[in-house]
Homo-oligomer: A and B are copies of this chain.
């Protein structure tokens, strides 16, 4: 995990890139429960580029608010790259942002299943141009998995925007 100084620099870089590209961001969070939104809005003036998000903790919120296909959740699981991509597209559509970001995972200590142990986290970025997604396996207690997920997604965003880690 990164120290707070490194985190702050990354957030400022992210804000700067979004402002210079005149792009807006929104976020759909499951296992991180608002942590990423909270980090983004720690930056003064975030309202210039951050439109908002959905904390889709229950599957019903993923389906009814973000428009995730219930069949995808049934077949691939709520923690899957397919679901993450649909969450990212859903929040982009819902808020009208240029970029949608999403995280869905198993923070633990319970909730692990065969093939998807605690620490499995799927992340996605969506835009009009293209989608990308990844599955990571983080190790550690609940808070570490959540923070590692937030850090990873913010790094994905920075790279997507043409920034450097």
Which residues of A are interface residues toward B (Cβ below 8 A)? 27, 29, 31-38, 40-42, 44-47, 50-58, 60-61, 64-65, 94-96, 107-110, 142-143, 146
Contacts and interface: CB of A to CB of B under 8 A. Distances in A.
A61 B57 contact: no
B41 A34 contact: yes
Contact of A34 (B44, B53, B107, B108): B53
A33 B46 contact: yes
A90 B53 CA distance: 15
Given A34-B35, A54-B55, 10 more contacts: A33-B37, A33-B38, A35-B41, A37-B57, A51-B57, A52-B56, A53-B55, A53-B57, A54-B54, A65-B94
Contacts of A31: 41
Quickly give the copy total for this chain.
2
A58 B95 contact: yes
B57 A54 contact: no
A45 B146 CA distance: 14
